[in-house]
């Protein structure tokens, strides 16, 4: 069984005037016994040279495995969904279960949830993601802000210049500093437009909760 969650919980507090608010955002470890997969896509030009990247960590924030992937020339959406697919394939290859999957692409979450549709090639990737989530077992697909997805962003950009698909048993040096910051709970401030954000999140939650009951 797999589930969709449009937004991971982030601490929120009201800022100054104008209906805006500030939230504190950072990577959060999964619960004991659960693994977390973070993925991201990068496209230099949209469309342009593109890469996908991601990593799996345990409940202590320790590196389990990671990857980067040069996927040629494409747009950012295809890069994001490819990253999720590649990450799920790695999870499946390692025979891991109980996995939280995080991406900073709301659109990718909506596509995989089935609430919107895209072109044929992206939809093929989406179907791959759904199949893999079913094969893996207990998985949850979650949208997070980019500040909580920084390690995956580094690996996605590494993918733009990589030679095909590279899988890392150990963390590459370029991600070591951010891994440490995530592990010790570093958070970043993000300003939000309160009313607009609540409206979008409310609509997404309704759609995704409906889709989750179908799957």
Domain boundaries, the chain: 28-191
Cα angle, residue 140 at apex, residues 134 and 143 outer, rounded to 5°: 130
Taking only the tens place, the pLDDT of each residue in 155-176 is 999 999 999 999 999 999 999 9
| Beta strand pairing call for 165-168 and 63-74 | antiparallel
| Residue 38 to residues 5, 118, 147, 209, 215, Cα–Cα distance (Å) | 14, 23, 12, 22, 22
Eight-state DSSP code of residue 8: -
- Rounded to the nearest integer, the mean pLDDT of the chain is 86
Taking only the tens place, the pLDDT of each residue in 178-187 is 999 999 999 9
- Is the predicted pLDDT of residue 13 greater than 80, yes or no? no
Model pLDDT, residue 205? 38
More confident of the two residues 192 and 131: 131
Model pLDDT, residue 118? 75
Q: The pTM is what?
A: 0.84
| Residue 36 to residues 20, 101, 138, 151, 190, Cα–Cα distance (Å) | 31, 6, 12, 12, 23
Q: Above pLDDT 90, what percent of the chain? A: 75
Taking only the tens place, the pLDDT of each residue in 26-79 is 999 999 999 999 999 999 998 999 999 999 999 999 999 999 999 999 999 999
Task: Name the one residue in this structure whose structure tokens are 């470890």.
Answer: 29
Model pLDDT, residue 213? 34
CATH superfamily of this structure's domain 28-191: Ribonuclease H-like superfamily/Ribonuclease H (3.30.420.10)
């Amino acid at each position: 069984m797999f589930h969709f969650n449009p937004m991971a919980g982030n601490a929120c507090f009201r800022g100054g005037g104008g209906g805006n608010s500030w939230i504190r955002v950072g990577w959060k470890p999964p619960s004991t016994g659960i693994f977390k997969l973070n993925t991201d896509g990068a496209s230099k030009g949209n469309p342009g040279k593109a890469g996908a990247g991601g990593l799996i960590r345990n409940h202590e924030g320790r590196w389990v495995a990671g990857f980067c992937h040069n996927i040629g020339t494409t747009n950012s959406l295809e890069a994001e969904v490819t990253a999720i697919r590649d990450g799920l394939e790695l999870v499946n290859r390692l025979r891991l279960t109980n996995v939280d999957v995080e991406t900073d692409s709301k659109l990718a979450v909506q596509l995989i949830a089935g609430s919107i549709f895209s072109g044929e090639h992206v939809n093929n990737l989406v179907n791959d993601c759904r199949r893999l989530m079913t094969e893996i077992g207990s998985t949850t697909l979650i949208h997070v802000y980019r500040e909580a997805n920084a390690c995956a962003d580094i690996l996605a950009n590494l993918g733009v210049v990589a030679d095909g698909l590279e899988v890392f048993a150990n963390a590459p040096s370029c991600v070591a500093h951010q891994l440490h910051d995530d592990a010790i709970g570093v958070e970043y401030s993000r300003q939000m437009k309160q009313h607009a954000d609540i409206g979008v999140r409310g609509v997404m939650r309704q759609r995704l909760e409906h889709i989750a009951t179908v799957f």
